[in-house]
Structure 1
Amino acid sequence: MFVVGSGGVHLVDELRSLGANFIDVEIKRFPDGEKYVRIAGSGERAIVLSSTFYPQDEKIIELLLLGDALRERGFEYLRLVVPYFAYSRQDRVTKEGEPISVRAIMRTLGLYYDELYVFDIHNPETLRYFPGKAVNLSPAKAIGNYFKEKLENGVILAPDHGALGRAKAVAEFLGLEYSHFEKRRVSPTEVKMYPVDVNVRGRDVLIVDDIISTGGTMIKAASLLKKLGAEKIYVSATHGVFSEGAIERISKAVEEIAVTNTIPTPVSKISIVPEIMKLEASHIV
């Protein structure tokens, strides 16, 4: 059964349509701004579901309160599903004195939760910081299903070599060629991008990444692909962490932009709910 936090409310209708079961929870705010939660149901096992998009800190505190409330209510085993995991990009120390933020969050959540499930986390190696079982789920099939009718003679590209595995997973599901962009510095102030070992002329292209924020890389890549003779250019990502105006800027540069619904946005057209439902099926309550 699901306990849905504030960061999962946008998924409830689809979950319900697929037969999900829910435990009633009350979530509100005290006059001074502090969060209040109350678990109305009872049981032994539950799945807590909430993405941690903005305001991130508030949603993380809420997950801790839900975990404590469920333990207080007598629940013995808790799965936590966080489709978008905040602080995941702060995964290393770049200046002396910094924390590894993703480690701090995972260790704290591990005080209450036995298992953690995320979607396409920025660095899968960071899952080792969670003290229990931690699983990184792939949205490659969902992304592939959405675009399979749109890509004729298509090719899947990653914006850089680090994202190549993501492009590979989507491409293998669709039976298409895949590659990535390389960045080459040509002067102290100029960096050029180019696709590696693939001809895009006359072909439809899907660029796939884990997170889109400002959209600058996607816009630059789309401009280059047009110069190289690509036909329709599509952009997708798991998490649409869009800064102000990013959707409009990207939309002007490509045929279509579509991201998953780990975060609710106007272009969250690809659902990860079926993957979440599989977790309930394997977590008999």
Structure 2
Amino acid sequence: MDILAFQNAVDLVTELEKVGVVKQVEERVFPDGEVLIRLPETGPEVALVLRLYPSVNDNIIKLVLALDALSDIGVRKVVLLTPYFPYARQDRRFRTGEPISSKTILKLLANYPVFAIITLDLHKPYIAEYVPRITTRNIYPAVEFAERLKDVDIVLSPDFGSVYRAEAIAKILGVSYTYFEKYRDRDTGSITLVPRYDVNLKGKNVAIVDDILSTGGTLVDACKSARALGANKVYAAVTHCQLLRDAREKVRGCVDRLICTDSIPNEFAEVRTGPILRRELERLL
């Protein structure tokens, strides 16, 4: 299988060279902002690797152009490797008239010979079921996070929607887990996070886990609640660290250690996505 890599995925190439021949996709941006890509000569089966974040919209256009070109030259099977899958937070229709954006992107890819997608930690696992024709390998790096959280006594999710992540890491570590419930004071409007079950955090080392860290509000609220309940050390393990606006300063002011993957390049990235993508590609093949 030939592996075609975009320029923003060169850091993943070393791992992927263990699977097949890596060839570079040529890219060009015109003065008006339009993009052009040119594919190298390739065989009938291709792994296409690129980062879709940042510059999400531009990179999706590049991806569609590449898939259309591959289809035109007769490629029969494409495996897409992208560490972060964008538009996944819109996983359902929140208000009338809105699209389910994650489904929209998958339906777009289904127009081409995309056989499988390998990605990390979709916002909700059921997104993979929106387009059954495409095999979606959604990997949560629980083992990699657990290796870095060995002194943790309890794993916490900031809400119920992320509790399965806490459960996955807790089971590896052999510790308990729970999630926060949100309570709003009707008089003051202030929000308090309280663990769902009666757990004692006093003097404990805790880890807060989630899929995306954007502005840091959710993580910091959970961290402050854990400290108010007596937690000794507070760690955070987040798969996709966007770190927007003043998120770095807010998080540094609360957590003792932030552990991220490099699905989005950042200074807190301790977990490399290259080996994870490579292992899953080998299993798929």
Query: Does the alignment reach a TM-score above 0.5?
Result: yes
CA shift digits 1:67-126 (9 cap, x unpaired): 122223332211112221111111222232222211111100111212122211112222
3-state SS of 2:211 partner: strand
Residue 78 and residue 248 in structure 1: after superposition, are their counterparts in 2 closer, same or farther (change >3 A)? same
Matching residue of 2:123: 122
In structure 2, the CA distance between the partners of 1:15 and 1:267, relative to structure 1 (3 Å rule), is farther
The structural deviation recorded for 1:245 is 1.7
CA-atom RMSD in angstroms:
1.9
Give 1:227 shift. 2.2
Cα distance between partner residues in 2 of 1:283 and 1:182: 38
Match of residue 136 from structure 2? 134
1:8 offset after TM fit, Å? Answer: 2.5
Q: Which residue of 1 aligns with 2:163?
A: 164
Cα pair 1:142 1:272 within 8 Å, conserved: no
Residue-pair matches, total:
280
The one-letter code sitting in structure 2 at the alignment partner of 1:282 is R
Q: Is the 8 A contact 1:24 1:41 kept in 2?
A: no
Structure 1, unpaired ranges of 5+: none
Question: Which residue of the partner structure matches residue 144 of structure 1?
Answer: 146
Question: Which residue in 2 is equivalent to 1:247?
Answer: 248
For the 8 Å contact 2:6–2:26, the answer to whether it is kept is no
Q: CA deviation at 1:13?
A: 4.4
CA distance in 1: counterparts of 2:82 and 2:68, whole angstroms: 17
User: Is contact 2:3–2:16 with CA below 8 Å preserved after alignment?
Assistant: no
* Structure 1: distance between partners of 2:208 and 2:13: 29
Q: TM-score, normalised by structure 1?
A: 0.91
How far off its partner does 1:19 sit? 6.5
Residue number in structure 2 paired with 1:32? 32
Displacement of 1:266 after TM fit?
1.5
Q: TM-score, normalised by structure 2?
A: 0.91
Q: 1:19-168 to 2 correspondence within 5 Å?
A: 21-112=21-112, 113-130=114-131, 131-148=133-150, 151-152=151-152, 154-168=153-167
Contact preservation (8 Å) 1:7, 1:53 = no
Using the TM superposition, give the Cα deviation of residue 20 of structure 1 relative to its aligned residue in structure 2, in angstroms.
5.8
Distance 2:161 2:208 in 1: 13
How much has 1:6 moved relative to structure 2?
Answer: 4.5
> How far apart, CA to CA, are the structure 1 residues paired with 2:283 and 2:219?
37
> What letter matches 1:158 in structure 2?
S
**Aligned residues with identical type, % of pairs:** 33
Return the offset for 1:254: 1.2
